[in-house]
Structure 1
């Protein structure tokens, strides 16, 4: 439970109840996200816009087994491995009726917005309509990577590149690397731009030989540029780097406003796409993981228990963590040294 900036503790809380239309899931794995860190520091914009408030329970990248169902829910769900959509629309507004519940004005976001408790717990209650079934070939580690992967899938799809095309991803963090994996699966030549050699070395270890710092970036034509960074100046840089008639995808969010010269956008005949949420890409991401077309498991550096989450949110790396950018949580794991997925 998070009670304020820097104030997190493991607590016993009443178990969730499967009300009509909802299920209770036994959580197997949860990913810690940059959004969670912003709530921990108090910087998250939703706190200042009235969409979120303390106390709250984080956790929106999760996988687990359905343990209970409420009235009106098919009992066949019980025992199935699932992950859940973070975005839960009201189901009645124009946006929801048009299939865009992820931008519903009155949406809840699991572990983020509207008081909907997150998955950093042994159990979580969610609407059955938010569930996506996971096949046996997708283990809990992959299951908890579906939500961030869906963002990467959407960004890669928005880039609209394939064999013979060249794409550049700005920011080799979790979302940037996932986007790069999906771009590579589509057949594109993928380059990454980062700030430090450690993250770039990890990207090279994933097979992305073309990983550069800004001074090293070669003067090449990029048919698509994906900004997956949190740097306020890079949206304009993305537009400068993309080829005329190319595509720029904005999925990263900076802490301050970014400026893009729309004259450049028009004169280069560039298509710009913004991406919020994995919702439209969850099923495609599950399919890509199940087939082996994309394997993001190397991104997970360590798995910890609930007792260690506060340290992770505060930026402390678990003991024995690997080089990847993602930390997972097993809610049933007791405190102990962090271990990588490969231990």
Structure 2
């Protein structure tokens, strides 16, 4: 076996290429995974453009290897790892807490102050490479019904599942999702699976969302005056968090899963006077197991969200927005 492998290395804003890098070694407690699919998301694009806050906060630095939405097969295990993982198809948690702090001990390792994030934070290499090393404890086995495409959609799906559950909408409820991108559409799928009447608001005619079976798709100008029991903001627009509170019914719920590049203005008096519950969602970690089950059972099928699957050499073009979305997958074996 070769001692090197191909990986896409981002060396600066809008500067990246495929390099030959050392093959990762399965150190104690970790495994090496042969990557079959890796998704590209908005966070990766922020690193590509240089706008990601972690770069300016000292949590991340170039050069770096992106890729935190992935699926593959375990090809090596380190000391202390159950050899039963060998040959198993898996995906993994992005958020790697230190497992010793108060937050980790309380089951909130995704908020650990000292966490690494695969392909994002703390120098932990990502999955835009032929192989990836991760802690064994972060793995989730994939059943046969969940192929590599679905496996690489578990991480964004876990975020969306948490957002949908935080919205608390089910049969008899009407939910509005702001932003029909990958996370917004996945959230809409989970809300629909829960029995809610789902509406989406975007900036275009919504043809893609309609093609997924959502008939209530609007722009801000065409949004009807309806009571919404829950509103999910899955955008990066600084003005929409306040709009979400304006649109939700009294005693309703608003969920914030999108992040804007600028501070959002939100009048908390509106929350109080409308008795609104507001929830923020960071990370898929608590939702990964149930997302895998939802995909395996066919409750949600996000495969139509993948507009293209390309090879590692096209990673730069994908990050630059040259391929159709809302989601693009990279197969590092190509």
User: TM-score range, shorter-chain basis?
Assistant: over 0.9
| Alignment partners' CA distance in 2, 1:33 and 1:11 | 21
2:273 pairs with 259, 267, 279, which one? 267
Q: State which of 210, 218, 229 in structure 2 corresponds to 1:223.
A: 229
Counterpart residue number, 1:89: 97
Equivalent residue, structure 2, for 1:325: 326
Give SS of 2:21's match: coil
Measured after TM superposition, the shift of residue 236 of structure 1 is: 0.1
What is aligned with 1:188?
196
Answer yes or no: is 1:257 the counterpart of 2:257.
no
Shift of 1:307: 0.3
Structure 1 residue 278 and structure 2 residue 284: aligned? yes
Q: Name the SS of the counterpart of 2:22 in structure 1.
A: coil
For residues 21 and 164 of structure 1, what CA distance do their matches in structure 2 show?
47
Distance across 1 between alignment mates of 2:19 and 2:170: 49
Q: What's the counterpart of residue 219 of structure 2?
A: 213
Alpha-carbon distance in 1 for matches of 2:112, 2:281: 15
Q: CA deviation at 1:315?
A: 1.5
Aligned counterparts of 1:44 and 1:259: Cα–Cα separation in 2: 21
- 1:303-322 alignment, distance < 5 Å: 303-317=309-323, 321=324
Deviation at 1:314, TM superposition (A): 1.1
- What's the TM-score once normalised by structure 2's chain length? 0.97
- The Cα shift of 1:316 comes to 1.1
> In 2, Cα distance between the equivalents of 1:248 and 1:158?
8
Partner of 2:179: 171
Count matched residues.
Answer: 326
Q: CA deviation at 1:196?
A: 1.5
Aligned to 1:337: none
Which of 289, 300, 318 is the matching residue for 2:295?
289
Alignment correspondent of 1:152: 160
For residue 167 of structure 1, report the CA deviation from its aligned partner: 0.1
Matching residue of 2:3: none
Structure 1 counterpart of 2:45: 37
Partner of residue 15, structure 1: 23
Corresponding position of 1:336: none
In the other structure, the counterpart of 1:101 is 109
Partner of 2:249: 243
For 2:150 and 2:51, the matched residues in 1 are separated by: 29
Runs of 4+ in 1 over 6 A off after TM superposition: none
- Structure 2 match to 1:339: none
- C-alpha distance in 1 between matches for 2:210 and 2:196: 16
Structure 1 gaps of 5+ residues are 334-343
Q: 2:33 aligns with which of 13, 25, 29?
A: 25
**Higher-strand-fraction structure:** 2
Distance 1:211 1:152 in 2: 18
Query: Do residues 77 (structure 1) and 78 (structure 2) align?
Result: no
- Displacement of 1:277 in angstroms is 0.2
Distance 1:42 1:244 in 2: 40
Task: Return the offset for 1:329.
Answer: 0.3
Residue aligned with 1:12, SS: strand
The whole-number CA distance in structure 2 between the counterparts of 1:58 and 1:249 is: 27
How far is 1:83 from its partner? 0.2
- With normalisation by structure 1, the TM-score equals 0.95
| In structure 1, C-alpha distance between the alignment counterparts of 2:303 and 2:28, rounded to whole Å | 35
Gapped regions of structure 2 (runs ≥ 5): 1-8
The answer to whether structure 1 residue 143 and structure 2 residue 151 are counterparts is yes
